[in-house]
Structure formats: structure tokens, C-alpha cells
Amino acid sequence: MGGVTWLNAQENVAKPRCGTMEVLKTNLERDPVLRTRFNQQKLQLRQMVQQRQLARITADTIYVPIVFHIVLQNPNLVTDEQLRDQIDTLNKDFAGLNGDSVKILPQFKHLFGKSIIQFRLARRTPNDQPSTGIVRKVTTRQEFNLNDPAVKYSSMGGDNAWDRNRFFNVWITDIVAGYLGYATFPQGSSAAEDGVVLDYTCLPGGVPPYDRGRTLTHETGHYFSLFHIWGEDNSCNGGDDIDDTPNQGAASGGCPTGIQTDDCSPTAPGIMYQNFMDYTNDPCMVMFTLQQVARMEESLTLYRNSYRTTNGHIPVGLVPLDASLRTIHTPVQRACAASFTPSVTLRNSGIQTLTAVDIHARIDDGTPVVTHWTGSLQTFGEALVNLEVLTTTPGHHTLTVYITNPNGGNDLDKTNDTLTTTFLYQPPVSPPLTEGFEGNTFPPAGWDVLNPDQSYTWERVSGVGNSGQAAVVMRNFNYTVNDMQDLFRLPVMKIANADSAFMTFQVAAAISSNPNGLLNPFDTLEVLASTDCGLTYTSLYKKWGAGLITRNTPVTTAFTPNANEWRKDSVNLTPYIGQGEILLAFRNTTQNENNIYLDDINVYSVVINPNLKTRGVLISPNPVQGDGQVNVQFYPNPVNLRSIAIYSITGAKVAERLIGGAGSTLYRFDMSLLASGVYVVHVVFSDRTVTQKIIKR
């Protein structure tokens, strides 16, 4: 299916995005025997489909075990949840149970095909050991070329295929040149390279408009012998060997609506741009046809018939009673209060329904606190469990969670009963807080960094500080995995007994592309605030591109700021006064542009003089001494101030400031050259005048 290429959605013109036919051509050119066998298979399959009745040879569902080989520098970029969603999408699309099938044009509804082919995550390895069907392989390769089979070989930085007669191999990686995926046809490749390769961005939750998992639906169609709906010659002479798909001259792109025609199908109902084997966007491809389904099922019978008898999707020897822990959800590196509620995912990994279990949680070597869980979990069912409250002390700690007494009995597999995590607790601090990163410890005490992909993240750097010799940097110039987010979090704070509060910081940034480009996906810097210890955040500051950079011209090498390339930015924290614990964070979202630096972070609060708050105007000091400075303060900012004047006791004007509109909160007057004595200050508003005597000593 399509790769990362940009379309003119109004013209609905598609550029090549699926690499299947290119890979097939390469394979056949380098292996004449393979080419002969493939051509014979193609002819044989067409003849068999034509002879076959629409009634299936068998109505039994065929379950195909999938193994996902995630081959990335950080394989954790792909989550288990995404893969489960991908399997769900694939099954619904093949079974014709996809909810968006209601979009099928009325002219084509009678051709809507529903297959008996279904997919399951592999539950055992080729050696019949237990498996989740997910293999995560860390590679040093940043990306893989279309015609480079290295992703399928462990010796070349990839991961070896599992037995293709028992498993459907799907590799998930970073594919160069904008392709989203490619597949091998039956007998169109060697056994070691048989399967589908996907770009990791096209899984459910990936990058729109290819974020619904339809890439794997498309490529699996190829895997079971379907061609692109338009054929491959971009004319009306080619075809897809399917009789119930209209003739089509070229690929469709974007998201068309209504009847669409071309030179090959110039009248209604036109072309079938909603077909999974076209190139439209994920939300707009919704169907296989009856004969496409027949071809795929016949292809399985002829060339992949071992899927009918494989046990790859059947778990290995589940024990009767096996409760397990999957994940500790909270705390995540940080506890924001001395007493907190841990949460975990409980899983039933046994045959018996799980109805009760004791979950123990302890901090360091302390006394465990027990949560008695009851419920009903079928095999492989999961539940989010909030545990009993724990209380900790300041510092770094280890949280250990383990389970006992499932259903009041003995857990028969104790290898999955225990999880641990580390976390930091520091009591909330109050403003002021200042940090210039001059100390050698990083992160500073009470700060932390969230680095989900364990790649480039916030780090201390020396020799480039704004006011000192150090700063923090996010090296986006070297960070080639886009859209990753890294947080640099401050100590938990409480802001109370103040009238206003702010955070200021120095920032220096550059980008490597045109700062005025309209479509550039720039690096983004945000300031976030959380009142629930990082579960959710509110963005208080967000800048990118021309709004963020401090060097206005593109920088094509790693950016290091000069002394004059720092800017002081400010964030208003006043709404968080008296709101309990607040967790502030800087968040970087990378797009591989250039480096961002931070320094001199300062959180402070402001308390207004109570006399000033009561009166609205405060003239001080009185008497005036020393350097003779007198301040005229306002609260809040005056909106109708006209002037401020100072007169001697005899009525002579000795100083004046004309305002004529909105004023500021503070005006200073120098009386050092005036003689000692009594003076009168006149503060003139449009609707009133405030006067006050002051003494100059």
C-alpha cells in the first residue's frame, strides 16, 4: 500500500507507495527458476478461481499465526496495543466486519466479499516454546532499503524469519524512500524472505492518512496473490486477474467520493477506488470483492495450505492457574506526594477463570501492603488495579509488586508474578526556584527526564551557558526518529500566598530548514503543567520554527549558540496559585531540525503590598531618604491614568510624568537634588485625583 508521499487530494492522483511489484521484479530477475515457477503459478491460480464455485470448499475459519518482527533502533516505539489493534483491523477487513464498510457505494455493495481467513498472534515459537508473537530486535541500522533483504536476516542487522509454512512473518521497521510496505507473492521469493515488511508509521495510531492499519490489509492481499486493482501498466490493457473489479487505468489517491470514472471505466459505476488494493487513504479503502476473496482463499489452498493445520496460534501448555503482572502504571519515575496509589495491570495467563488474587506492594525492604482483588478474568483477560495507598520518604526508592493466592490456591507459574520499578519522591518546594545547571549532577536534585525511546534526550552541556558555563540541550540535529517527545521535569512545587507567579528561562534554538516554510514539521518546545503528577498536562507555552529560533538563518551543522543568541521567555503561572502540587515540564517534540538549549530557569512568585492592594495607589517611601528615590505604585495596572506630578509646599511643580492612557504598575522619581521639606504628589486619573504629602529629608 501507499508510502509517505504527499497527494493532491482534489485530483486524487497517487504516487507509488507500495513496493511489492518492485520487489517481485527484482526477485524474478535474479532467479530465472523462480520467475518460471511464479508465472506458472499465476496462470494456475486464475484457472482454479474461474473453475471454483462461489461456495467455499470449506466454511471453517482458517487461522493464520502472525509473528511481528520489530526491527528498529528502538523497538519499543511500536507498542503491544498497536499490534493488537492491527490484528483487529486485519481480521475485520478480511471478514467484511469493518464498520466503515457502510461507505461502500451502492453500485458495488453486491460485490462486497467476506473471507474465512483470520489472523492470530503466534503463541509459540518454531521450537514450540511459549511466545507472544512479538519479537523486538534492536538494530544499528537506521533504515532499510526496499530491495535490501537485510531486515529479514539477523546476520545483517534484521531478524530471521520463522518457518513460513507455520507462520506469517511481518517485519516492522523504518523503510527508506517513503514506502509504507511491500509483500512477497506465493512462490515469489525465497522461503527466508517470504512475508510482509511495514514501515512502523503506518500501524494504527501512526501518521495520518495511513494510521488505521490498512497498509497491512493491502500487503496481505498481495501475500495471498492479489494484484493492484489497476494492473501495473497504467493503461486499459492491464488488469488484476479479477473479473468483478472494474477496469482502471491508474492508481487512485487521496479520498474520493461518489462515482469516479476514468478512460477505462468512463461511465457509472466507474472505478472501485474504495478497494483495499487501490492507493486511497486508509479511511477511504473499505472492501475486497467476492472474486478477490475467492482468489485469496484459493491461493491459500494451493500455496499456503499448511496454514490450515498449523498450531502456531495455539498456546503451549497453559497451566490451570496462573495469575501474572504485566505493567506498573504508577508511579512513573516520580511520586508527587508522600502517600500515593500504585496501579498495575493484572493478567490471567492460566486456563481457569481468575476470580481473586492478593497483590502485595512494598517500598524498598519495607512491609508489604496487600490489596485483595476480586473479579472475573478469562484466559488472557486483563484488569487495571489500583492498589492500597503506600507512604514513602524523600529520596530514590524501589517499588516491588508481587501476587499470591490466585483463587485461593497455588500459582503454577511464578516467573511472571513480580514487577519492580524505581521512583523519586521529594516534598514539594515553594518559589523561588532557580537553576543554571552549573553543578555536575544531572538531572539536578528533584528534577527528572522522561526518555520513552531511550535515545537522544535532554542532557547537560558545558561551555555554552547563557550566564554561566553550562546549560541543557536537546540534540534534535542528531535525532532522526521524528515525533518523539522527551520531557525535562522540574521539582514538584506548591505556589501559595502570592498574588502572581511566573517562570522565566533562557532559550537558544536553530533549525536546518527554511524557518518560513509553511509545511515544514519543525521541532517544538513546550512548557507543560500537571496537577495530577504527570498523568495529564496542560500546555502553557508552545513555540516552533520562526517563533522559537534565536538564529534566523538555517543552520546545517549541529547548532551551538553564540553569547548573543539567547532569549528570555516567560510563562504565567498565576492560575496555579493555591492549586496544590504542580509539576512543570519542558517538552521537546523532535523533527530532526536542530538543537534547542535551555538555561537560567527561574520560578518566582510576587506578593503585593497589602496597603497597595487596599488603596490601589501607594507612594513610598515616606519620608524620602538616602538617594531621594520615590516610587508611585499601582495595583492593578491603571487604565485611565493621565499624569503624575510633584509640587513643592508653595505650589511650584518640581517633576511631572504625562501618561495619557494605560499605565504601568511602577513609576520612579528622583528627588535627590531637591531641598528637604514637604512636597505634594498629585496622581491624576481621568475621573479623579489622588494627592499625598511626602517629606524629603
Give start and end residues of each alpha helix (H) in 242-286.
Answer: none
Rounded Cα distance, 113 and 596, in Å: 52
Stretch among 3-12, 231-240, 529-538 having the lowest mean pLDDT: 3-12
Quick check: 260 and 271 in contact, CB under 8 A?
yes
Quick check: is 219 catalytic? yes
Q: Is residue 12 part of a domain?
A: no
Place of cell 512494598: 362
3-state secondary structure 348-408: ECCCCCEEEEEEEEEECCCCCEEEEEEEEECCCCEEEEECCCEECCCEEEEEEEEEECHHH
24 has a pLDDT exceeding 90? no
Give me the pLDDT at residue 26, please: 81
Instruction: Tell me which of 349 and 39 has the higher pLDDT.
Output: 349
Q: Which residues pair with 183 in a beta bridge?
A: 196
CATH of the domain at 158: 3.40.390.10
Collect all residues with Cβ–Cβ distance below 8 Å to 371 and sequence separation of at least 6.
358, 359, 360, 361, 385, 387, 388
What amino acid is encoded at 594 in this protein? Answer: N
Task: Tell me which of 273-287, 369-383, 495-509, 512-526 is least confident.
Answer: 512-526
291 vs 273: CA distance, rounded Å: 16
In a 3-state reduction of DSSP, which class is residue 252?
Answer: strand
We report the CATH number of the domain holding residue 420 as 2.60.40.10
Quote the mean pLDDT of the chain. 90
Same domain, 338 and 274: no
* pLDDT, tens only, 572-593: 999 999 999 999 999 999 988 9
**DSSP letters for 585-610:** EEEEE--S---EEEEEEEEEEE---H
Residues 469 and 505 in one domain: yes
- CATH number, residue 621: 2.60.40.3080
Q: Are residues 176 and 38 in the same domain?
A: yes
Residue 16 banded pLDDT, cuts 50, 70, 90: low
Based on the domain organization, do 182 and 77 belong to the same domain?
Answer: yes
Q: Report the distance separating Cα 462 and Cα 451, nearest Å.
A: 21
Distance (Å, whole) CA 347 – CA 326: 7
Stretch 367-396: mean pLDDT = 94
Task: Establish if 581 belongs to a structural domain.
Answer: yes
Ranges 118-122, 317-321, 517-521: which has the least confidence: 517-521
pLDDT of residue 5: 26
Grid cell digits, residue 25: 521484479
| Residue ranges making up the domain that contains 84 | 20-308
CA distance 208 to 282: 8
Tell me if 170 is assigned to some domain.
Answer: yes
Whether residue 367 is contained in a domain is answered as: yes
Q: Which domain-ending residue is among 582, 606, 630?
A: 606
In the predicted model, what is the mean pLDDT of residues 70-79? Answer: 95
pLDDT in the model for residue 665:
85
At 22 the three-state DSSP class reads helix
The DSSP line for 307-358 is GGT--TTSPS---S--EEEEEEEE-SEEESSSEE--EEEEEE-SSSPEEEEE
38 and 120, same domain (yes or no):
yes
Mode of pairing for the β-strands spanning 62-72 and 117-121 = parallel
CA separation, residue 174 to residues 7, 13, 200 (Å): 21, 25, 6
Query: pLDDT (tens digit, 9 = 90+) per residue, 460-492?
Result: 999 999 999 999 999 999 987 777 889 999 999
Counting Cα atoms < 13 Å in the Cβ hemisphere of 563 gives 3
Residue 57 confidence (pLDDT) above 60: no
Angle 20-30/32-51 helices, nearest 10 degrees? 130
Q: Are residues 130 and 237 in the same domain?
A: yes
- Judge contact between 602 and 504, C-beta under 8 A: yes
Query: Do the domain assignments include residue 269?
Result: yes
For the residues 547-557, what does the mean pLDDT come to? 94
Q: How many domains does the chain have?
A: 4
Q: Is residue 316 assigned to a domain? A: no
Nearest to 511 by CA among 480, 459, 551: 551
Residue 672 has pLDDT above 70, yes or no: yes
Please give the average per-residue pLDDT across 30-52, as a whole number: 71
The model's pTM is 0.54
Q: Cell triple for residue 485?
A: 517527545
Q: Alpha-carbon distance 647 to 431, whole Å?
A: 41
Last residue of a domain, one of 606, 638, 658: 606
- State how far the Cα of 95 lies from the Cα of 298, in Å rounded to an integer: 16
User: Would you list the DSSP string of 664-684?
Assistant: -SEEEEE-TTSPSEEEEEEEE
Contact present, 549 and 511 (Cβ < 8 Å): yes
Binning pLDDT at 50, 70 and 90, where does residue 12 land? low
Q: Which of 562, 584, 606 is the last residue of a domain?
A: 606
Residues 6+ apart with CB under 8 A from 650: none
**CATH no. for residue 448?**
2.60.120.200
Burial class (CB in 10 A: 0-12, 13-18, 19+), 485: middle
Q: Is the model's pLDDT at 54 over the cut of 70?
A: no
Both 493 and 526 in one domain: the answer is: yes
Domain assignment present for residue 315? The answer is no
pLDDT at 364 > cutoff 90: yes
CA distance 46 to 240: 10
One domain for residues 25 and 97 = yes
| Mean pLDDT to the nearest integer, 239-262 | 93
Q: Where are the beta strands (DSSP E) in 55-180?
A: 62-72, 117-121, 134-138, 168-173
Q: Which of 298-312, 375-389, 627-641 has the lowest mean pLDDT?
A: 627-641
The verdict on residue 3 lying in a domain is no
pLDDT at 52: 60
Instruction: Tell me what percent of the residues of the chain surpass a pLDDT of 70.
Output: 95
* Confidence (pLDDT) at 51: 64
In this structure, the answer to whether residues 32 and 44 fall within a common structural domain is: yes
Indicate the pLDDT class of residue 6, thresholds 50, 70 and 90: very low
What tens digit of pLDDT does each residue of 126-175 get? 988 788 899 999 998 889 988 788 999 988 889 999 999 999 999 999 99
CA-CA distance, 261 to 273, in Å (whole number)?
10
Residues 667, 568, single domain; the answer is: no
CA distance linking residue 74 with residue 80, whole number of Å: 14
Is residue 277 located within the same domain as residue 388? no
Q: Are residues 486 and 559 in the same domain?
A: yes
What pLDDT does 232 receive? 75
* Marked catalytic residue, from 29, 81, 143, 219: 219
Q: Is the pLDDT of residue 14 over 80?
A: no
Phi, psi of 104 (to 5 degrees): -55, 130
Q: Record the cell numbers describing residue 494, joined without a space.
A: 506548591
